[in-house]
Amino acid sequence: MRRFLLIAFPYVWLLALFLIPFAIVLKISLSDVALARPPYMPQFSWDEGIGAFLSQLDFENFTFLTTDDLYWKAYLSSLKIAAISTVLTLFVGYPIAYGMARAPEAWRPTLMMLVILPFWTSFLIRVYAWRGILSQEGYLNQVLMWTGVISEPLTILNTNIAVYIGVVYTYLPFMILPIYAALDRLDGSLIEAAEDLGCSRRSAFWLVTIPLSRPGIIAGSFLVFIPTLGEFVIPSLLGGSGTLMIGKVLWEEFFNNRDWPVASAVAIILLLILIVPIVLFQKNQQRQAEAEG
C-alpha cells in the first residue's frame, strides 16, 4: 500500500493539474464563440446526451489559425525570441556558474544567495524597474551620455533588445543553478588527468568540462526556453506594441476579444510545440542510456 501511494501521488497530481485542465481547454478549442458566460457553445446537457454534445464540436478554430497570418507569425516570432534569449542567457549564466563552482567552499553559499536574491522581490516590480533603466530618460542613457559614450539618448525601450535584456535578467538564475549543480559534482581529477595527458587548460575545458556539464546546460536551457516562449509580461512592458509574441496574442484573444475558443486553440498549439520536442528528447536520451548500458 505504501508503494502504491508513493506511485499514485504524482499521477494524481498530473491528472489534477495538467490532464484535466488540458481536456477542458481542448474542449473549448473545439467549440464556437457565443455571447454567454462562458462565451462558447456547446454546453453539455444530460437531456441531449453526450452524442449530441460531441457532434457539435469541430476543428474550425484550428483551421482559422492556419489561414490568419497573425498567429503563425506570432509563433515564429516567439520561437525566435525564446531561442535567442536562451542562447544569451547561457552565454551569461555559464561563466557565472563556472566561477561559483571554482570559488572557495566558504564563498559558495554567499554566491548562491546572491543568485537567488532577486526572487525576494516581486517579478512585476523588477520588470517595471527596467523600464526606468532603459527609457530615453533612464539611468542607462544618463550614464552613457555623462561618460561621453553617446551624444544622444538610445532607443532601447519598446524594442526586441529590451525584451532580450528583460528575459536574460529574469531567467538567469534558472540557467545558473542547474549548470552550477552539474559543475559542482564534476570530479576535478578528470581535469588534472586531461592536463597530464597533454591538454592545455583551454582544451581540457572544452573537451572535459563542457561535455560533463551538458545535463545542466540542457536543464537550464529548457527552464529558460519554455517560459520565455509563452511570456506575456516582459514583451508587454518592455517590448511595446511592436513586439509580436504568442503570449500577447493569447491574452488579447481571452480578455479583449473574449474569443475563448480561438484562444484555447492557440494555447493547445503552443502546448504541443513545447511538449512534442521534450518528449522526443527524453526518448532519445533513454535510447542513448540503454545503448550505453
Residue 181 lies in a domain: yes
User: What is the DSSP code string of the chain?
Assistant: -HHHHHHHHHHHHHIIIIIHHHHHHHHHHTSEE-SSSSSEE----TTTHHHHHHHT--SHHHHHHHH-HHHHHHHHHHHHHHHHHHHHHHHHHHHHHHHHHHS-GGGHHHHHHHHHGGGGS-HHHHHHHHHHHHSTTSHHHHHHHHTTS-SS----TTSHHHHHHHHHHHHHHHHHHHHHHHHHT--HHHHHHHHHTT--HHHHIIIIIHHHTHHHHHHHHHHHHHHHHT--HHIIIIIGGG---HHHHHHIIIIIS--HHHHHHHHHHHHHHHHHHHHHHHHHHHHHHHHH-
The count of domains in the chain is 1
Residue 54 lies in a domain: no
Residue 95 lies in a domain: yes
Residue 49 lies in a domain: no
Residue 47 lies in a domain: no
Q: What pLDDT is attached to residue 40? A: 84
Q: Could you tell me the CATH number of the domain that includes residue 182? A: 1.10.3720.10
Q: What pLDDT is attached to residue 13? A: 87
Residue 117 lies in a domain: yes
Q: What pLDDT is attached to residue 37? A: 67
Domain that holds residue 83: 69-292
Residue 20 lies in a domain: no
Q: Consecutive 10-residue runs of the chain (293 residues): their mean pLDDT?
A: 81 87 90 80 78 84 88 93 96 95 90 90 90 90 89 89 94 94 87 83 88 91 92 90 88 88 92 84 78 68
Residue 141 lies in a domain: yes
